[in-house]
Structure 1
Amino acid sequence: MRKAFILMSMLLLAVIVAACGSSEDTGDSGSNNESEEASDSKWSEIQEEGEIVVGTSGTLFPASYYPEGSDEMSGYDVEIMREIADRLGLELKFEEYGVDGLLSAINSGRIDAVINDMEITKDRQEQFAFSEPYKYSYSTMIVRESDLSGIEKLEDLEGKTHGGGATTVFSQIAEHFGAETKTYGNVTNDVYLRDVENGNTDFIINDYYLQSLALKALTDIEVQLHPDLKFHPTNSAIVMPKEAETMKEEIDAVLAEMKEDGTLTELSEEFFGGQDASKEPEEDIREIEGLDL
């Protein structure tokens, strides 16, 4: 009788242990499934709609702008996104925002992604997913022609006024060296440049390619690129919601194709005066120490 009781107890214990194991396995599987569903949901929504909605400024020459006399947006970033959407079999809709409103538009769900020469930073990577880079560059500085705005080195920025967006990396660099930033809405390049010329601001930090081409387009404004300052190497990429892993994989695959077949090089040479911004620069670029981006 005692043996029968012990045997029954052991069988009951085995059933309980098996049940616990089964419960734990189910929990892990459910958690994994939920994670996979979250990563797939954004891409599933886009596929169901047959359309991807992308935020850009429309005022950033030559990345995202309206050519003179045209009501259709173009630019390096814009044409890259058009090619990606086409290869993915999706319609493309652009929504225009000021630079400071682009990332918040992703968080609010108003757009699916952002393409606007957006730099990959550690801080942004904690909040968003980024594609592989489609552009490599570095930062330069626009100053007055007459006196280089009194700037010989980055340490001379202390006490000076920088023109830029409040949430940009370029403003963070300026403020890191003690400058104040005068912020703007969604304005065109000439507004920034004329403020440097007339002394309302002292300098503008931005991407080398964007600044050099803006100066070529606006030759009547007496400003120039600083001849000696090249700093902060950058990678630009498409920004997506943090959980949109499947969407990132799909976009990365197309970007890899475009790099391999020469499409990125062709688009870059078209919009950057024959220069290939899709490849890393060979210049000696200063890294900024102590700046956590």
Structure 2
Amino acid sequence: MFLVLTACTSPATKEDDKENAKTITYGTSGTLYPTSFYNDDDELTGYEVEIMKEVAKRLDVEIKFVEMGVDGMLTSLKSGQLDIASTGIDQTEEAEKDFSFTEPYKYSFSSMVVRSEDADNYHSVTDVKGKKAGGAASTSYTKTAEALGAEPVIYDNASVEEYFSELVNKNIDVIMNDYYIQREVVGFYPQFDVKQLDIYYNPDQTSFVLDKGNSELIEKVNQALDKMIEDGTLTKLSEQFYDGSDVSQPLTEDYPTVDTSKVE
């Protein structure tokens, strides 16, 4: 845990506190290429993972990676088992009651992947109505699908291969997610006969998420992120993992927004 050290009487407890203060526990999926995944050398890497490694280096602390799904991350942030996480939840007024968000490290928008044979049946984002949309619980993508009348099919921290297998096997009809991630994974897994549609919506920005009371850590992380933006580190990492695209810069185009305010 990244906490202020407090006076105590037990020498063992002091050592525990000192050790904890030198470690950030970070929740990530470990299954989502190219943002959090295992490379050919079985090393955890990806855009978000490498950002957090660099943040830890600049804060002179160790980082402990814990892999889990979004619901697990949110619960673990509140219980103190995680210090910080990449959750995929929107920075809404409701979410800000329980969680704090860092400065954005990614600007993007949403798209859809469907079976190639069905691509001509989609002309706008509203065409997902009545379809089965695969996704993770609590994410903005699943809420969008539900708001549009799709039937959410929930998976717990599933890999891209699992989602694509479910799609081609017709257990789901559509995957709604981040444009840049979907662009990369469709090209990375050519064995699946799927297509990313030219239908774009929901501009967004992505931040790391912390428990509401962790003000000291969020200030330090924000300082590190600001310096990484200034010195070009975020741009370099983005171009490395997103095929030359710089997702660390704000969007310059407008995209339609789906109202999810009525979705719990």
TM-score (norm 1): 0.81
**Post-superposition CA distance 1:22-71 (Å, at most 9, x none):** xxxxxxxxxxxxxxxxxxx9531686621111111100111110012x22
Task: Indicate whether 1:161 and 2:132 are aligned.
Answer: yes
Match of 1:177 in 2: 148
Match of 1:59 among 31, 36, 39: 31
**CA displacement at 1:218 relative to structure 2:** 0.4
CA contact (8 A) 2:27 2:73 kept: yes
**CA displacement at 1:177 relative to structure 2:** 0.7
**CA displacement at 1:86 relative to structure 2:** 0.5
Q: Report how many residues are paired.
A: 251
CA contact (8 A) 2:113 2:196 kept: yes
**Post-superposition CA distance 1:191-230 (Å, at most 9, x none):** 1112222221110100011111011110111111112x11
CA contact (8 A) 1:53 1:112 kept: yes
CA distance in 2, matches of 1:233, 1:286: 8
Question: In 2 relative to 1, CA 119–61 (structure 1 residues): closer, same or farther, beyond 3 Å?
Answer: farther
Task: Report SS of the residue matched to 1:44.
Answer: coil
Task: Report SS of the residue matched to 2:24.
Answer: strand
Question: In 2 relative to 1, CA 278–203 (structure 1 residues): closer, same or farther, beyond 3 Å?
Answer: same
The percentage of counterpart residues that share the same residue type is: 38
CA distance in 2, matches of 1:188, 1:92: 23
CA distance in 2, matches of 1:147, 1:186: 26
CA distance in 2, matches of 1:47, 1:88: 15
**Post-superposition CA distance 1:112-170 (Å, at most 9, x none):** 11035554333322210010000000111111111227322222222110000121110
Match of 2:49 in 1: 78
Cα RMSD (Å): 1.9
CA distance in 2, matches of 1:149, 1:203: 13
CA distance in 2, matches of 1:107, 1:292: 24
Which runs of 5 or more residues in structure 2 are unaligned? 6-16
CA contact (8 A) 2:32 2:160 kept: yes
Which runs of 5 or more residues in structure 1 are unaligned? 1-40
**Stretches of 4+ aligned residues off by more than 3 angstroms:** 45-48, 116-119, 289-293
